[in-house]
Amino acid sequence: MIKNIGLFDSGVGGLTVAKELMRAFPWLNIFYFGDTARLPYGNKSPRTITAYSKEIASFLLGKNVEMLVVACNTSSSIALGELERELPVPVVGMIKPGAKSAAERSESGRIGLIGTRATVASGAYEKEIRALNPSATVFSKACPLFVPLVEEGFAEDPVAEMVAARYLAPVLENGPDTLILGCTHYPMLIPVLRKAAPGVSLVSSGEATTEYLMEEHGFPRGKGPDEKGFLEIFVTDGGTHFKEVAEALLGKKIELEEVSLERLVTG
């Protein structure tokens, strides 16, 4: 049974996935990496996103992880293929779990997607959803302001409500019954997203990934080893709001280890 897992994201958002995994699989040892010095990823080129993802994957492999979870939709949509080919451990991204959950939930086949510019431009979610349901229609919208709002601690501020209403309006005009939160930062915006999209089922990466690990990788449902796992967190810049936002999300105090970009790049 897999015990040590590496997770990474551009910042604090991937902790929404880590939180769900800790709840479902409390025996896991999770090594989390937030690339806070270089976020956001969503406005960067595919070449840059892939290079960053490989550097972080190499660092996490040095922690003897047995699986890598790419807890970043942008990296999942751009770099997952290369990571799967090059790494000696199983690699799980966010696209397949989220697409599967949305395709199963949607009764109308009309599915909304919000994400970073890179995720939306990649078409990765549309490809996966149509493989599962060829008649499905996906309505996508890039929401580049959401990540900095979360990283700055404004997830439930009135400004987040205004931005959410503005972003979601063109998606909701198409009448989706399901909305994919195509960025791991977005679950922290669920209260304002529910106000903006009442009655629409929201698909978050953390919940979808938990189900995916159970169904596709044999993670035990509701049982496992008795020993308690742990969470170790690494960041490339500790001078951000990461610690404050992460502690609010996880509901406990955390310690961070800062990894310099020089150390990350050179190994």
> How much of the chain is helix, strand and coil, in % rounded to 5?
45, 15, 35
Cβ-based neighbours of 267, under 8 Å, separated by 6 or more: 58, 59, 62
Report in angstroms the alpha-carbon separations of 214 from 68, 204, 239: 15, 16, 36
**Catalytic residue of the set 49, 70, 72, 163:** 72
Q: Strand 29-34 vs strand 231-235: parallel, antiparallel, or unpaired? A: parallel
The b-or-e profile of 65-99 (16+ CB within 10 A means b, else e) is bebbbbbbbbbbbbbbeebeeebebebbbbbbbbb
Rounded Cα distance, 187 and 98, in Å: 13
**Catalytic annotation on 143?**
no
183 is catalytic: yes
Tell me the two tokens of residue 85: 């080919």
Task: State the catalytic residue, choosing from 103, 183, 202, 208.
Answer: 183
Can you name the residues that pair with 112 across neighbouring β-strands? 139, 179
* C-alpha dihedral sign at 231, 237, 238, 241: negative
Rounded to 10 degrees, the C-alpha dihedral 14/15/20/26 comes to 120
Strand segments, DSSP code E, in the chain are 4-9, 29-34, 67-70, 91-92, 110-115, 137-142, 178-182, 201-203, 231-235, 256-258
State the catalytic residues.
72, 183
